Chains A and B, each alone.
Chain A
Amino acid sequence: MSRKKTAEEYEKTFAFRFFRWLSGEKDPYIGNVEMQPQKKYEPDHEAALRREKEHDAIMDKVYDTGHNRWLHLFHRLYQTTSVLFCLFLIALLLVTVSYLPANGTVTRPVNNEVSARYIEKGLEETGAVNIVAGMILDYRAFDTLGESHVLFVATITVLILLRLNKTEKDEAEVSDRRFEPKNDAILQVVATFLVPVIIIFGIYIILNGHLGPGGGFSGGAVIGAGLVLYLNAFGFKKTERFFTEKTYKWVCFFSLSFYCLAKSYSFYTGANHLHSVIPKGTPGAILSSGLILPLNIAVGLVVACTIYAFYAMFRKGGF
């Protein structure tokens, strides 16, 4: 059953449009080519700022670890992958290890002419009974020079981070007094006995660095431990009598300068094939093995001071 369409309906039909075109009534450019004014471009500063703020808000939300579900999920994923990564790395390294030369055997590439010469000629060339000490302070002294500067630069960064200026220092002092142990009788008594022993032991290690196990670093660490114990037992007031920041600065400066200069001389002479005036001494004696002993002393001083300085810094932010 068909019914007559209304005019509006008819206008939507294809037939109508076709017929309109056929009879030339359709104007292709009415509504198309006709020129309408376009909106003028308005600079919109506000919107830009608003956008920026919204961006920040979104970022806030993203970083809101407590409430962001996706972030949680991401963390989970991150952790899982990290564990997997760790396992993978373990597997990889184990495979690698399994292909490495067998442990404890003499035929490994490690045991070549280098170590042989260190062992065979070490005593003669460096004058140190402790071959390891001879190696690190003579054969490969440049590494060790660098190493001591690593320590130096680490203290510098710790200083940068933790050293307080005058006013802060006073506050820190107050809080230190309040919270840290003080005038503990047991500790003080024990320290009175132990500290000298520890320090003397440290000195012994340093001085015997070229003769037996030990050396500047270990000895310095022991001395440093003694100083720390002293500080713990008696507090800053006592230590400040003999050890202030200035002391530390100058000790470090002189030790390192000495180290630097001494090694420079040694390197220079070595490289230019000059004769070094420093005597090797008799192997086995305290005063032997050329520069190794003084260097051990210098390093020991630096390390002792540094260990103490680290502790003081961590505890209070100053000496």
Chain B
Amino acid sequence: MIVSVILIPFITGILVPVIPFRKRWQKEVFLETAVVLNSILVWFLLLHHSDSTFLLAHFTGNLNISFRVDGMSMVFAGLVSALWPFATLYAFEYMTKEEHENVFFLFYTLTYGVTLGIALAANLLTMYFFYELLTLVTVPLVMHTLTREAVLASRKYLYYSLGGAAFAFLGLIMVIVYGSTTDFILGGVLDPAKTAGKTNVLLLIYVMAFLGFGVKAAVCPFNAWLPQAGVAPTPVTALLHAVAVVKSGAFAIIRLTYYSFGTDFLKGTWAQYAVMSVVMFTIVYGCSRAVKETHLKRRLAYSTISNLSYILFGAVIMTPLGLVGALTHLVFHAVMKISSFFCAGAVMHQTGRHYVHELNGLGYKMPRVLGIFTISALALMGVPGLAGFVSKWNLAGAAAESGNPLAFGGIACLLVSALLTAIYMLTIVVRAFFPGKDFDYRTVSDIRDPNWKMLLPLFVFSIFIILFGVYSQPVVDFFMSVATGVV
């Protein structure tokens, strides 16, 4: 069952170029059906999960590839499978203007499977395996346009990701050698008997592994790939570089911190301070770069960098509440960012405009898209009543509760970042809706909102943003039970 949800996307993806579809809509229906079915299957699996581990294969020694559904997997798998059908729907419309559709959908669907693999992995090795695989299946997507820019971007993406994985690998080794098992167990698996006297080395390796996985999560010195990867088609940027790929990085870090090394081992050590400082710096850095950036998607990408570090900030607080904060932001940010990316994509698709200064006055011609963009912008800023506020509240609350002085500074960083978020998001909104006195409306006269395939996901996402904003209780409760290990 677990394997099937990973395999179905693989099979579907491979079938896309193989089956000779006569009409485009047939392909669309086929893909969408498969994806939706798979999502339903995933949700069914999550809701009716058993605690048993499914062993797929022995790798070497006591290392094996196995899958299991636990709280964290439920969060991530649920999130991914909820977003994917919408993203696919959106992609159909978006890709009408792009080439080599089949290759695109092949890898796009493969990525679904791989991401689920990361989510459902039962041990560190399996996760690492899918993590590397994720890099590989997403590279063709980044390269898709095959322009020089795209090639440079994907090259950079590969360097960074593989390089990061190399260091994450060291963490894996530590867990294999010093842990009692590589399975994920909340609270960590390190064996105190083995680690005695080696604490500092382990901490050093933890920091390395953190930064290694952090490459995917675009932690500061290693974030350069993400804005560049924005050359990919928007469905990719939106879903992968705002959700699936980068969140896998964050997810992996959470797994590493909470489920492998264990917070008891890490809390209060220099390692925690080190990673927390890095994360805090990234929060501010990402935002500042976003303010400076004039390319719409790249600006959003920088915003993603900053927001990912919110998640990591929650994770490195290393308390259950911190984990709750991280998970909340993991999920909510996904919805907000995918929504804003889709808006950006819709604008690009409809108008071909890529730069922020080209968006003047579009608000009157694409009110739906930009209205939704405004909502997601406000949510990202953290206006109360929208999803972003809840997650920030949880994060900051956890930081304040932790009593860690550096975490207090982290709250300040969050707020500075919120201010910068306001700057870079609202300037867009203001431009779109208040183009200025001498704006010539004729330049936008033949622009209109996109069709339903693009709008439907947008509407759904904005509804979710508001819903999470005003009524997040059940979700947060669920996260709480994940963080305390009840689920």
Q: Which of A's residues lie within 8 Å of B, judged by CB?
A: 29, 32-33, 35-38, 41, 43
Give bound CA distance, A149 to B231, whole Å: 61
B357 and A37 within 8 A (CB): yes
- Nearest Cβ on chain A to B169's Cβ, whole angstroms: 33
Cα distance, A246 to B473, chains bound together (Å) = 95
| Apart from the given pairs A35-B357, A41-B148, 18 other A-B contacts in the complex at a CB distance below 8 Å | A29-B423, A32-B291, A33-B427, A35-B294, A35-B356, A35-B427, A35-B431, A36-B294, A36-B357, A37-B355, A37-B357, A38-B294, A38-B295, A38-B355, A41-B149, A43-B147, A43-B148, A43-B149
CB-CB under 8 A from A38, the residues of chain B are 294-295, 355
Q: Which residue of A lies closest to B357 (CB)?
A: A35
The answer for the CA separation of A35 and B356 in the assembled complex, in Å, is: 7
A29–B427 Cα distance when bound, in Å, is: 11
Residues on A with C-beta less than 8 A from B357 are 35-37
Instruction: Considering the complex, give the chain B residue whose CB is closest to the CB of A48.
Output: B148
Task: Looking at the assembled complex, report how far the CB atom of B304 sits from the nearest CB atom of chain A, in whole angstroms.
Answer: 19
Question: Min CB distance, A156 to chain B, in Å?
Answer: 43
Q: Is the CB of B149 within 8 A of A37?
A: no
Instruction: Report the separation of the CA atoms of residues A33 and B294 in the bound assembly, to the nearest whole angstrom.
Output: 9
Cα distance, A38 to B298, chains bound together (Å): 12
* CA A43 to CA B355, docked complex, whole Å: 19
> Please, what's the 1-or-0 string for B141-179, where 1 marks a CB less than 8 Å from any CB in chain A?
000000111000000000000000000000000000000
CB neighbours (8 Å) of B423 from chain A are: 29, 33
Bound CA–CA A33/B295 (angstroms)? 13
Q: Which residues of B contact A29 (CB under 8 A)?
A: 423
- 22 A–B contact pairs at CB < 8 A? A32-B291, A33-B291, A33-B423, A35-B294, A35-B355, A35-B356, A35-B357, A35-B427, A35-B431, A36-B294, A36-B357, A37-B294, A37-B355, A37-B357, A38-B294, A38-B295, A38-B355, A41-B148, A41-B149, A43-B147, A43-B148, A43-B149
Shortest C-beta distance, B286 to chain A (Å), equals 16
- Which residues from chain A contact B356 at a C-beta distance below 8 Å? 35
> Which residues of A lie under 8 Å from residue B149 when comparing CB positions?
41, 43
Q: Which residues of B contact A (CB under 8 A)?
A: 147-149, 291, 294-295, 355-357, 423, 427, 431
| Distance A37 CA – B296 CA, assembled complex (angstroms) | 11
Please, how many angstroms separate the alpha-carbon atoms of A201 and B113 in the complex?
83
Instruction: Report chain A residues within 8 Å CB of B291.
Output: 32-33
Which residues in B have their C-beta under 8 angstroms from that of A33? 291, 423, 427
State in angstroms the CA–CA spacing of A41 and B298 once bound together: 14
A83→B471 CA distance, assembly (Å): 82
Shortest distance between the CB of A147 and any CB in chain B (Å) = 43
Nearest chain B CB to A126 CB, angstrom units: 52
Closest to B149 in A: A41
- Contact partners of B355 in chain A: CB under 8 A: 35, 37-38
Tell me, rounded to whole Å, the shortest Cβ–Cβ distance linking A43 to chain B. 3
A32 to B294, CA, bound (A): 11
Q: Which B residues touch A43, using CB under 8 A?
A: 147-149
Give Cα A35–Cα B423 distance, bound, in whole angstroms. Answer: 12
Closest chain A residue, CB of each to CB of B291: A33
Question: Complex: how many Å from CA A97 to CA B431?
Answer: 87
Bound CA span A33–B427, Å: 9
A310 to chain B, nearest CB (A): 52
Bound form: Cα–Cα A43–B153 in Å: 13
In the complex, A245→B385 CA distance in Å? 96
Q: What's the minimum C-beta distance from B152 to chain A, rounded to whole angstroms?
A: 8
Q: How distant is the Cα of A288 from the Cα of B423 in the complex, in angstroms?
A: 104
Nearest-CB residue, chain A, relative to B424: A33
Which residues of chain A have C-beta atoms less than 8 A from B431's C-beta? 35
Please name all residues of chain B whose beta carbon is closer than 8 Å to the beta carbon of A32 when the two chains form the complex: 291
Q: Which residue of B lies closest to A44 (CB)?
A: B148
* Chain A min CB distance to B355 (Å): 6
CA distance A37 to B294 in the complex (A): 7
> How far does the Cβ of B122 sit from chain A's closest Cβ, in whole Å?
43
- CA A35 – CA B431 in complex, angstroms? 10
Q: How far is the CA of A38 from the CA of B358 in the complex (A)?
A: 12
Question: Closest 8 interchain pairs by CB?
Answer: A43-B148, A35-B357, A35-B356, A35-B294, A41-B149, A38-B294, A37-B355, A37-B357
Whole-angstrom CA separation of A174 from B148 in the bound complex: 59
Contact residues in B for A41 (Cβ distance below 8 Å): 148-149
Closest CB in chain A relative to B58 CB, distance in Å: 41
CB B228 to nearest CB in A, in angstroms, measures: 10
- B294 cross-chain contacts in A, Cβ below 8 A: 35-38
CB distance from A82 to the nearest CB of B (A): 38
Report chain A residues within 8 Å CB of B148: 41, 43
B359 and chain A: residue at smallest CB distance: A35
Query: Which residues on the B side are within 8 Å of A37 (C-beta)?
Result: 294, 355, 357
CB contacts (< 8 Å) of B295 on chain A: these are 38
Q: Shortest beta-carbon distance, A208 to chain B, in Å?
A: 62
- A206–chain B nearest beta-carbon distance, Å: 59
Task: State in angstroms the CA–CA spacing of A36 and B149 once bound together.
Answer: 21
Query: A43's closest neighbor in chain B, by CB?
Result: B148
Question: Shortest beta-carbon distance, A40 to chain B, in Å?
Answer: 9
| Measured CA separation A35–B428 after assembly (Å) | 10
Q: Which residues of B contact A36 (CB under 8 A)?
A: 294, 357
Q: How far is the CA of A32 from the CA of B291 in the complex (A)?
A: 9
Residue among A35, A36, A38, A43 with most chain B CB within 10 A? A35
Docked Cα-Cα span, A283 to B295, in Å, equals 97
Cβ–Cβ < 8 Å partners of A35 in chain B: 294, 355-357, 427, 431
Query: What's the Cα separation between A35 and B295 when bound, in Å?
Result: 9
**Min distance, Cβ A56 to any Cβ of chain B, angstroms:** 23
Which single residue of chain B is at the shortest CB-CB distance from A41? B149
